[in-house]
Structure 1
Amino acid sequence: MIRTKRVQSGDWRTVEWFWNASGTAFFQAPAGAQIKVRYGVGWFGFDRQKQTLDGVRFKKLTIGTASIARARMQVRVAQTVDVTYDVYPGNVSITTPEIPV
């Protein structure tokens, strides 16, 4: 499912969250934006899969079925911008996004 969200510049912003669930998302732009998966809450949280977008290749974030805690897909951008990404809830074996190039 292709989604577009307005992401404010500054700190990490959550675009998708999961509770005891799995999911996969593909991001491509804007170049220079950072993406990651954040597990847990507050001081007890930790980051995984931190990547930087280059505006050309798709980057994939995955939250597995072992995620019994809260998990969030987050984006950080240098300036406020719309971010379009392709997200699939559940345990799917998608390897390429549906976002038109």
Structure 2
Amino acid sequence: MIRTKHVTSGNWRTVESFWNATGTAFFEAPAGAQVKVRYGVGWFGFDSQKQSLDGTHVKTLKVGRGSIAYARMQVRVKQTTDVRYDVYPGNVAITTPELQF
């Protein structure tokens, strides 16, 4: 399902959270934004799949079994803006978003 979140500039902002669940999300814009998956909490956490958006190519984030503890998809933008993405819960076989952004 396509979602739009208003993201303020600065630190990493969580757009989706997963607890003992899996999911896949597709991001395309805004250009210059960064996306990643953060597993765990505090000092026991680690980052995965860190990517930069270029506004043209679709970037994919997947949350796997590591979310048994806690996982979240995060975005960092240079300017406060809306971020639009396509997210699917569970293990999906989709490799590209169903709808165009």
Give the TM bin, normalised by the shorter chain.
over 0.9
Equivalence for 1:31: 31
CA distance in 2, matches of 1:33, 1:7: 10
Equivalence for 1:7: 7
Paired amino acid for 1:78: K
1:72 aligns to 2:99 (yes or no): no
How far does residue 99 in structure 1 lie from its aligned partner after superposition?
Answer: 3.5
How far does residue 33 in structure 1 lie from its aligned partner after superposition?
Answer: 0.1
Paired amino acid for 1:43: W
Paired amino acid for 1:33: A
How many residues are paired up? 101
CA RMSD of aligned residues (A): 1.0
Cα deviation 1:12-51 (Å, max 9, x = unaligned): 0000000010000000000000000000001111000000
1:20 aligns to 2:8 (yes or no): no
Q: Percent identity?
A: 75
Paired amino acid for 2:98: E
How far does residue 64 in structure 1 lie from its aligned partner after superposition?
Answer: 1.1
Equivalence for 2:56: 56
Kept in 2: contact 1:24–1:92 (CA 8 A): yes
Kept in 2: contact 1:34–1:50 (CA 8 A): yes
Paired amino acid for 2:46: F
Question: Gaps (5+ residues) in structure 1?
Answer: none
TM-score of the two chains, using structure 1 as the length reference:
0.96
Other structure's SS at 2:99 match = coil
CA distance in 1, matches of 2:23, 2:11: 23
Kept in 1: contact 2:39–2:66 (CA 8 A): no
Kept in 2: contact 1:38–1:48 (CA 8 A): yes
